[in-house]
Amino acid sequence: MLRTLSIRDFVIVDSIELEFAPGFTVFTGETGAGKSILIDALALALGGRGDASVVREGAAKTDITAEFSTGSAADTWLAEHEFSNEDGGVLLRRVIDNAGRSKAFINGISATASQLRELGEMLVDIHGQHAHQSLLKTDAQRVLLDSQAGLLDEARAVAAAYKTWRALAKQREEFEANAKSVLLERERLEWQVSELQKLAVKPGEWADISTEHSRLSHAASLIEGAQEALNAISESESGPILSQLSALTLKLSKLADIDAALRPVVDALEPARIQLQEAVYGLNDYLGRVELDPERLHLVESRLDAIHSTARKFRVAPEELPQEYESLSAQLKQLANATDLDAMRVQEEKLKSAYMELAVKLSKSRAKAAKALGDAVTAAMQDLSMSGGRFEVALHPCEPASYGVEQVEFMVAAHAGTSARPLAKVASGGELARISLAISVITSSATATPTLIFDEVDSGIGGGVAEVVGRLLKRLGRDRQVLCVTHLPQVASQANQHFQVSKRSSEGRTMSRIDFLDAKARIEEIARMLGGIEITATTRKHARELLAS
């Protein structure tokens, strides 16, 4: 339920603070006073679209705050999105500056406009003064029926199944139309994959075989160089380096016994001698392993040439051939799956069957809901001076579509003894307004939304019908909070709470204000609505009678 609404610098509103109670509340005022500004401001707080034009002229920003008590659905949503507070309820705030920048807050936490809208749908249901116009569109009629019957989830499932089925059907149709080019592409991929499969280049092979080729092609010079080093260190006839270093170290060691100043020199030479000995061991081991292998060299060169030429053919680096093989194999597999026409047709039939199963189930639910809605609106029409009138919801079979296998159409017989015809063709403006109101009240009764707002949905009616409308809204207010912008005294007199909207001019500026009316003020306002500018004792008496009734 809406508890409070704070409006700052919105259109022609300077500052307004309102408190609301349960039951049926009305807003009245002269034409042009801005009665719908309240609804527009609340819609903005609920995530509606807004731009710089909503900011009062001369102000820096519009600031709108709405406080609600919440139910289980809203509380669950707040907890899931981490917007809950310890006090319960929820505070929605929307700020739009004069540059058109928008900010949104839920319980003081920054939020998005879409989050405001999502939460707002659980808190408020707004029926605009032009709602009856949308009833003339078949799409709106279908959505209203599904919404009233709680079938929106089923309708979304049907739409998703249709989308999946038609996507595969389109793919199959495109394949049939382009079968020749697809076949050529498949043959090209098969040849490329086959060639790479025969070559069978392993990951890292190019680096390994390049290293081996370098070693084999330089084997002779490697052996010659290693042997020359070994001779110089340990096998030279003119005195190997290792022998000379060992003799020199021994001689200096003896001299160090005489003069200790030579001991550091001996200590420096000893590691060098050890390192040279290690080098001798390493060279002997290397020469024992390295050998000339012309046959192996020929095989390695052939492999290198095959890999290199294939890489040039595929326009990739030699080391990228394994990845190229994997990529082309995946493309071939995907194309093979996609071009298996028989398999595609089988899968297409499965998807169509799944869609039809959901669509038929939705059709049965719609048929049941259509009768219930038709009966309820027909009953309401009798109270709205359309005695003998009849409302029906027709379901016309159609080709499978995203919304199902039938078109929804609202039909009406305005008088007894006449055949029901499409709503747009037979309803006059007043009849359409009354039917729209009946549908709004009935569909609102079925929803769990705690606050219902009717923005001049009673336009086009008057007299006894207006009194019936007031009773309908008051009855609805027993279970819900109902806010209504109205120009009808018969409706306003039924309210539990009454606000008057007016305009005043100050310093060349026009401002809108909203005042809560006590019992005395209500008599004056109802009298004004009955009699116009000049209020007489008769109109006041009539106003008292309306309020008393």
- Sequence ranges of the domains in the chain: 1-127+456-517, 130-165+353-449, 185-337
Give the C-alpha separation, 325 to 195, whole Å: 9
| Winning range, highest mean pLDDT, from 125-129, 229-233, 268-272, 457-461 | 268-272
Average pLDDT, the chain: 84
Whose CA is closest to 458, among 428, 476, 436, 443? 436
* Single pTM value for the model: 0.59
Higher pLDDT, 169 or 260: 169
Unique residue bearing structure tokens 């003894």: 417
Give the C-alpha separation, 502 to 523, whole Å: 16
In three-state secondary structure terms, 70 is coil
- 130 pLDDT more than 60: no
Domain 1-127+456-517: CATH architecture, name and number where available? 3-Layer(aba) Sandwich (3.40)
Work out the average pLDDT over 40-59. 89
Q: pLDDT band for 163, please (50, 70, 90 cuts).
A: very high
According to the model, what pLDDT value does residue 339 have?
Answer: 57
Higher pLDDT, 496 or 235: 496
In three-state secondary structure terms, 32 is coil
Q: What tokens were used for 430?
A: 């007043």
Q: pLDDT band for 23, please (50, 70, 90 cuts).
A: very high
Which H helix or E strand runs over 2?
A: strand 2-10
- Cα torsion for 156, 161, 165, 167, to the nearest 10°? 50
Q: pLDDT band for 338, please (50, 70, 90 cuts).
A: low
N-terminal to C-terminal alpha carbon distance within the chain: 27
Half-sphere exposure at residue 233, Cβ-oriented, CA atoms within 13 angstroms? 19
Please state which of the ranges 129-138, 308-317, 434-443 shows the lowest mean pLDDT.
129-138
Work out the average pLDDT over 362-387. 90
* Helices 205-217 & 219-230 angle (0-180, nearest 10): 60
Q: Which residues pair with 17 in a beta bridge?
A: 6
In three-state secondary structure terms, 28 is strand
In three-state secondary structure terms, 142 is helix
DSSP label of 289 = H
Q: pLDDT band for 188, please (50, 70, 90 cuts).
A: confident
According to the model, what pLDDT value does residue 445 have?
Answer: 65
The answer to whether 206 and 213 have CB atoms below 8 angstroms apart is no
- CATH topology (fold) of 130-165+353-449: Glutathione S-transferase Yfyf (Class Pi); Chain A, domain 2 (1.20.1050)
According to the model, what pLDDT value does residue 361 have?
Answer: 96
- 290 pLDDT more than 70: no
